[in-house]
Amino acid sequence: MTKRLGRGLDALISSLDIDEGDHILQVEIKKIRPNPYQPRKYFEEEALNELADSIKEHGIIQPLIARKSIKGYELVAGERRLRAAKLANVEHVPVVVREFTDEQVMQIALIENLQREDLNAIEIAQAYQKLMTAFSLKQEELAKKVGKSRPHVANFLRLLQLPKEIQERVSRGTLSMGHARTLLGVEKDQIKIELAKEVEEKSLSVRQLEEIVKRMSEKKKVSRETKDTETQRFVKDWEERLRMAFGTLVHVKPSKSKNRGKIEISYFSQEDLERILELVENSKA
């Protein structure tokens, strides 16, 4: 194991650095297998073509990092450079070979992409979640490690609460993170999905979506208040009828669950309780 690789996230981050003393190999590109733990699923074609043009003119400035495999090498860091080099029809690429476990390869792939901001919002959220799990980190601890604020980390992690269909739209870039964060304020998943489709179909801005969600929330609030008012009116009527029937104070307490609740009947002496029980028994008879 290379000396620079110790325990913890800091040690893994430092393992991405290339030192003057590192031995750089020129490896045939067809002998390098892509990183199987690469968290990034989408690579912007235009950016890759620009990098390929740069490689044609200047070559690869920053060596790739790989580990030995049964047949050739397995990429650890440098996915974009490897893809661009293939587009540029380069036959050999500079590589620094180091030893890593499978778990370290996965973690380094996450860290490299986070540092270079190569991931979309959902991929970043998934990367944060995996790092927190792998290193048993809290949000605040992870934020310090990756040089971000805790609210920044928290906002990304909240995106994982969205339905998978919406997460895929964010990954594809058809929904922005701003849209996604606004949809988090909608209670039902099906409505979230319908709104996401509307955003795409009508090319709605984040501000426009916020207005829609706000109107929905206000409408729901008015509906709830109207329903509460109606319920209170019925409750008072029921309480009055029961008070007349039992000749004592009665409180009807509806539950939040549909068609459920409880009735509280007050009594003020042993004789009063016996009177009420007699009324109930006579009613049953």
Angle at 147 between CA 142 and CA 153, to 5 degrees: 50
Q: What is the pLDDT of residues 68-104, one digit of tens each?
A: 988 899 998 888 889 999 999 999 999 999 888 887 7
- Per-residue model confidence (pLDDT) at position 285: 57
Query: Is 79 among the catalytic positions?
Result: yes
Any domain includes 221: no
The residue among 113, 131, 154 that closes a domain is 113
Any domain includes 16: yes
- Per-residue model confidence (pLDDT) at position 116: 63
**Could you give the number of structural domains in the chain?**
2
Beta bridge mates, 97: 66
Neighbours of 276 (CB within 10 A): 17
The chain-wide mean pLDDT, for the chain, equals 83
Any domain includes 160: no
Cα–Cα distance list, 13 to 6, 21, 27, 114 (Å): 10, 18, 24, 11
Whether 42 has a pLDDT exceeding 80, the answer reads no
Query: Which position among 74, 79, 112, 123 bears the catalytic label?
Result: 79
Any domain includes 37: yes
Any domain includes 174: no
Proportion of the chain above pLDDT 70, given as a percent: 87
The residue among 68, 85, 113 that closes a domain is 113
The residue among 62, 85, 113 that closes a domain is 113
Beta bridge mates, 200: none
What CATH number should be reported for the domain holding residue 20?
Answer: 3.90.1530.30
Proportion of the chain above pLDDT 90, given as a percent: 32
Q: What is the pLDDT of residues 95-113, one digit of tens each?
A: 999 888 887 787 777 777 7
**Domain of 49, in residue numbers:** 1-113
Report which secondary-structure segment, H or E, holds 168.
helix 164-172
Entry pTM:
0.56
Any domain includes 199: no
Mean pLDDT lowest among 76-85, 169-178, 220-229: 220-229
Any domain includes 79: yes
Any domain includes 102: yes
- Single-letter amino acid code for the residue at 27: V
- Per-residue model confidence (pLDDT) at position 13: 66
- Residue 56 in tokens: 């044609």
Query: How far apart are the C-alpha atoms of 273 and 250, rounded to whole Å?
Result: 13
